[in-house]
Structures are given as structure tokens and as C-alpha cells.
Amino acid sequence: MRLDSHTLGVVEDGVDLVNAAVPGERRGRPYPPAADSAELLERLDNAVSAAYGYHVQPEDAQDLARAAGQLWQVFSAVADDDMDSAAAQVNALIIEYGARPTLFRRDSQPWHLHFHSADATLTAGIAAACTVGLAFVLGSEHADRIGLCSAANCDRVYLDTSRNGTKRFCSTACQNRAKTAAFRARRAAT
């Protein structure tokens, strides 16, 4: 893929956020909504703190989970080969979260690009960054590099950074499950 590391990073962060916060199915098993606010906070903090260096606060959890659900819709639309809906969703999110390029510098660090204003909330900052990253992917020849896992009973999202662009699973575990199921089906047919 020919996207810069910052863009790839924010899309990967979006993948982590979506897969942590959005209920559905994961690796052949149900992935239920968080049982309570403490579990939701833990899921979100695990997805966000390493990438952004901030810990999710309880007052941010519901908004961040909502943003993750909105980002999931983009991946789902791409998986359904509905690029018009994916683009419309990204455009709506850019407006909703006030995404705009802004250069920041902390202390003696070099200037670096953010996709939100200096006074943005945690949710707006993360959602804006992930949305702009997805916009770069959708607006390139790599739009098919994002989607939903192709394994049965899994709706986790992925970003394909492989050289040949053939990734269709969220994890090696799902890829192995699908290959094993196909092998067993072929074997049973003979």
C-alpha cells in the first residue's frame, strides 16, 4: 500500500477501536456488548491508550463506542461493495467530528499533523483521525483493502497491508478456521 505511516496508523487505530467496542461476532463466537460501563471502559482503553497515550475516561466511553459503531458502518459498506455509502458515511463523520488538518507541536517535539482542533474532545480527536485515514484509503486505489472478516460467524474489521492485497480475514485464527472448514467440506464431498 502506498499510504504514509501516519495514515496507516490511524486506520489501524480505527480497526482496533471498532473491533474492541462494536458487538457482533468474533472468531466464530458471539462478541456481546460490554456487560457494564467498567467493561466498556476497559475495552476502549485497551484499544486507545497504547495508540494515543491517553486513558479513556468514563465520561468519554459512550461517545467513543458510538463513534466506533459509525466507523464500523464504513467497513461494512466497503465489504458490501457499496462505495457510495462508505464515502457518504465518511463525509458525514468528517463534518460531525470537525476533522481538519492542523499542525501541532508539543514541547520540543517536531511539528506533526493532527486531524482535529487543539480543543477537541478525546472522542472527536480519535474519530476525526480515524475518519480522515479511512477517507485517504477510500480515495485511493486501495479502497478494497478494508472490510469485514470473511470467516463464518465473524464480523470484525480489518485493514489489509499485505503486498498482494489478498487479506480477507481479521486474524490468522479466522483464516485458519475458514481453511479448515473448506478442507473438511471438500473431504466430506469425496
The domain limits of the chain are: 5-189
Query: What mean pLDDT value characterizes the chain?
Result: 93
Judge whether 24 and 33 are in contact, CB under 8 Å: no
CA distances from 35 to 28, 31, 155 (A): 20, 11, 19
Judge whether 157 and 15 are in contact, CB under 8 Å: yes
How many CB atoms lie under 10 A from the CB of residue 92?
14
pLDDT bracket for residue 7 (50, 70, 90): confident
Rounded Cα distance between 143 and 135, Å, is 9
Average pLDDT over residues 46-55: 89
pLDDT bracket for residue 157 (50, 70, 90): very high
pLDDT bracket for residue 1 (50, 70, 90): low
Asked if residue 3 has pLDDT above 80, the reply is no
Q: pTM of the full predicted structure?
A: 0.92
| Phi, psi for residue 60 in degrees, rounded to 5 | -95, -15
pLDDT bracket for residue 50 (50, 70, 90): confident
Across 5-9, 27-31, 36-40, 129-133, least confident range: 5-9
pLDDT tens-digit readout, 15-34: 999 999 999 999 999 999 99
**pLDDT of 63:** 97
Average pLDDT over residues 127-132: 96
SS3 state at 161: coil
Average pLDDT over residues 144-171: 94
Rounded Cα distance between 112 and 83, Å, is 30
Percent of the chain topping pLDDT 90? 76
Give the range with max mean pLDDT: 51-55, 109-113, 174-178: 174-178
Rounded Cα distance between 24 and 103, Å, is 37
CA distances from 171 to 67, 146, 159, 184 (A): 23, 13, 11, 20
Q: Which of 78, 114, 87, 111 is nearest to 98 (CA)?
A: 114
Candidate CATH numbers 3.40.50.720, 1.10.3300.10, 1.10.1030.10, 1.10.150.110; the one for domain 5-189: 1.10.3300.10
SS3 state at 5: helix
**pLDDT of 147:** 94
Rounded Cα distance between 179 and 185, Å, is 10
pLDDT bracket for residue 170 (50, 70, 90): very high
Average pLDDT over residues 74-94: 97
How many CB atoms lie under 10 A from the CB of residue 164?
6
Eight-class DSSP state of 27 = T
